[in-house]
Chain A
Amino acid sequence: MTVLGDNDPRFRALPWKIAAFVLAALVGAAASVVLFAWHQGYFEPKTPLTFVSDTGNDLRVGMAVKFSGFTIGEVKTLTLDDKGRVRIAVLIENRYMKWIRTDSIGKVGKDGLIGDAYIDVGIGDLRKPEVEPNTELEFVSSRSMDDVMREVRDRAMPVINELEQEVHFLSGPNSDLNRSMTNLREFTEGLKGTRERVDKVLDNLDKVTGKDVPATLETSRMALLRVDNVLKDVEGRLPTMMDHANTTLQHLEATSATVHKIVDQSGPDAVGLVREGHELARKGNVVVDGVERSWPLNKMISPAPTQAPSSDSQGLGQ
């Protein structure tokens, strides 16, 4: 017994309807694939270029080539030339070729500290001509954390050594500064003694009789002469001392400027890398947490208990 009669109008030309449906599905799928491919730039005409690098670290076939954050092409092949350098053959979409000039330089960039690496093409001098197909462009290797730290150390160590020498020079017993200070102290002590003697003379002045006047004046003259000598001595030495102090301060100033320069140049890199590392770890935790809670992983991973188990009565552990 048939449920629906063959003469049901809905079954008329059924094979053709099925064929049309299948055909429409195939056309739809093909159109989707073509659309995706078109979106991905598979139909874009491309121009081959070559970068030459000292190292192939962080490079792989298929990695993106970006310009100002836009993907403009991809790496097709990586080969070693006769000199052992790495030749990076890339294909750049023609519409972006106008931005690449003969002095454009490629380097490895990264999305985050351990994110996907890509080749970042720097903007060249727009007054220079556009590059021809198969042009060889310069490539600089990216600096790793190690490189940054090594550079900081290599540049900072001589400065620190110099600072150390300066400090030794300043604090040593025979340093100009110390000698100057000693001289000044002696001079001050000398002045004090002289003043005491002058005071004494003045105190006794009213008791001086006529015959003592010449002797007293002679004593005063001698005292003033000594003061004069001391002052002359100081006057003679002071410019030299000041010159030395000035030179030393200039050294310190120059050293300080160098340190500042190093910190300004390398500091942001190092600080940035550390901050990026922290941020990356935080994001990593969030991602892992999210993945752990998603199906089907949430069925496979059993989290550690969040409550302490009751203690075993025999002290034997759980």
Chain B
Amino acid sequence: MKGLYLALLTLLAACGSTTPPLPPARLAVRDTAEQASRASQTGNWHAAAVAWHEAALQYATLDDWAAAGRAALGEAQALAQGQQPQDAKAVLAGVDAGKRYPEAIRAEAVYQLALIDIQQRDWRTAQSHLQSAAERLPQDTGLQAAIANAQGRVALQQGDPVGAAAWSAKALKLAAITPAERANAWRLGASAALAGKDAKAADVPLKAALNLDRQLARPAAIAADLRLMAQLAALRGDADADVWAERATAACQALKADACDAVSPTATQ
């Protein structure tokens, strides 16, 4: 019996193929980055920040500054999500100032700085950072759509639904837009329309955003869509307005409280 197993194992091994092994230092940094990524995905922000920091150092020892920069951006993201915006800003400022990082990474650091400014309701600085990032990034990058959406978010918060709709339209026109930012752009457009009490204009993009967010399985985005759907139904006087409201409330309650708070500024004007 053991012989049979051995023969089968030999056959399987013969069929098998392995990718060439990575050098030990590469393996180590890959493990650290995967660990950081998993921590980010599960919302373990402190662990994620530590692991991204470690990954950035390890990439630096390999003279891989693009990867080191990306890891630093990951660290800043984790710090910002973990309610340490000042630390996040310090990391991002360091990346922006670091000439060793590729320009695209440095520009993305400025974009992330703008997001923290928005979180801190510092609209003027946010706009300035967004404009700078947009100028420094290539036009065909997906991040341009994200920047346009962020500009729309600022415009909406400043009571400019027309401007927000224009930013949404600009984001949707960009070819390199990612699915998540496409959903964001549709939601932004719907929010702008709702702010202008235009239920008809809000209907189609909002439904599209909800469908796409469901496909992408983005809980916080779905909660935001449902809140807007409840507003839309109430504005139109639909019979199922209370159902939408209940769905929105339940979805929001199922999320962590701080995630629900994050939804509110963009979901409602």
Residues of chain A touching chain B, judged by Cβ–Cβ distance below 8 Å, are: 32-33, 36-37, 39-40, 289-290, 293-296, 298, 303-308, 310-318
Contact = CB atoms under 8 A, between A and B. Distances in A.
A313 B19 contact: no
Contact of A312 (B30, B184, B219): B184
Contact of B19 (A293, A311, A314): A293
B112 interface: yes
B33 interface: yes
A313 B108 contact: no
Nearest to B146: A313
A308 B73 contact: yes
A290 B15 CA distance: 15
Nearest to A38: B3
A306 B70 CA distance: 10
Contacts of B112: 311
Given A306-B34, A308-B36, A317-B220, 11 more contacts: A36-B6, A304-B35, A305-B37, A306-B30, A310-B143, A310-B178, A311-B77, A311-B115, A313-B145, A316-B262, A317-B219
Interface string B114-135: 0100110000000000000000
Interface in B215-269: 218-221, 224, 259, 262-263, 266
B65 interface: no
A311 B181 CA distance: 10
Contacts of A290: 18
A312 B181 CA distance: 7
B34 A33 contact: no
The winner among A40, A306, A312, A316 for most chain B CB atoms within 10 A is A316
Nearest to B185: A313
A315 B262 contact: yes
Contacts of A304: 34-35, 37-38, 41
Contact of A311 (B37, B111, B218, B224): B111
A38 to B, nearest CB: 10
B150 A298 contact: no
B220 A40 contact: no
Contacts of A293: 18-19, 21
Query: Which 6 pairs between the two chains have the least Cβ-Cβ distance?
Result: A308-B74, A36-B3, A306-B33, A313-B149, A313-B146, A304-B34
B74 A318 contact: no
Nearest to B220: A316
B89 interface: no
Nearest to B181: A313
